[in-house]
Chains A and B, each alone.
Chain A
Amino acid sequence: NAGVTQTPKFQVLKTGQSMTLQCAQDMNHNSMYWYRQDPGMGLRLIYYSASEGTTDKGEVPNGYNVSRLNKREFSLRLESAAPSQTSVYFCASSESGSGELFFGEGSRLTVL
């Protein structure tokens, strides 16, 4: 049982380049989330999708876009990467109302 799968696991970009982080879950969850983790700041919510077809901004949405492609997949796009977006990105999913988040293993992004 794969759970939540993120790709790629590692990526190095130059300032101004674009990229998309992919996330897929096989637990039939309605809700999906993107967080970033930075030292001393915990996890900060970038965007979330309560259900297929909906997306909402979290705490730090600037510089990011998301797409809920279908119930399984939720992608995060950086249109023009900046060094401040160097971070570890986590995708998570949950069943509506349960509150429990199931996390992927993370994607480490470095922007030079």
Chain B
Amino acid sequence: AQSVTQPDIHITVSEGASLELRCNYSYGATPYLFWYVQSPGQGLQLLLKYFSGDTLVQGIKGFEAEFKRSQSSFNLRKPSVHWSDAAEYFCAVGAKSGGFKTIFGAGTRLFVKA
């Protein structure tokens, strides 16, 4: 069975500073990895995904993530945070077993200070 750990419940960064959100996964086979963002009162939106190939993946809104198999990690990064990035971020791992089953981490809430 797959599982996801996001060690940081919340993070505060200054506007313009860099950001890294941590994600560790557990899955026996090659994982399908995702980052989603949720603004208050909204559903989730996909930021980026990793299935195979280049371990550094680019997403929307200037986000990127790096898959490191040796560390079972898929950390999300952004070089310069904007106030509009304040939201909750979820890492997820997917498995193909009949259908496509996706399990989410507990989330990291990002606060951006001026």
Contacts and interface: CB of A to CB of B under 8 A. Distances in A.
29 contacts: A31-B99, A31-B100, A35-B104, A40-B9, A40-B106, A42-B4, A42-B105, A42-B106, A45-B103, A48-B101, A49-B99, A50-B98, A51-B99, A54-B99, A56-B98, A56-B101, A92-B44, A97-B96, A98-B100, A99-B32, A99-B34, A99-B51, A99-B100, A99-B102, A100-B34, A101-B46, A101-B102, A103-B43, A106-B43
Interface residues on A, range: 20 to 34
Summarize B's interface: helix, strand, loop or mixed.
strand
Of all A-B residue pairs in the complex, the 6 with the closest CB atoms, nearest first, are A50-B99, A103-B43, A42-B106, A43-B104, A42-B104, A103-B44
B105 A58 contact: no
A77 interface: no
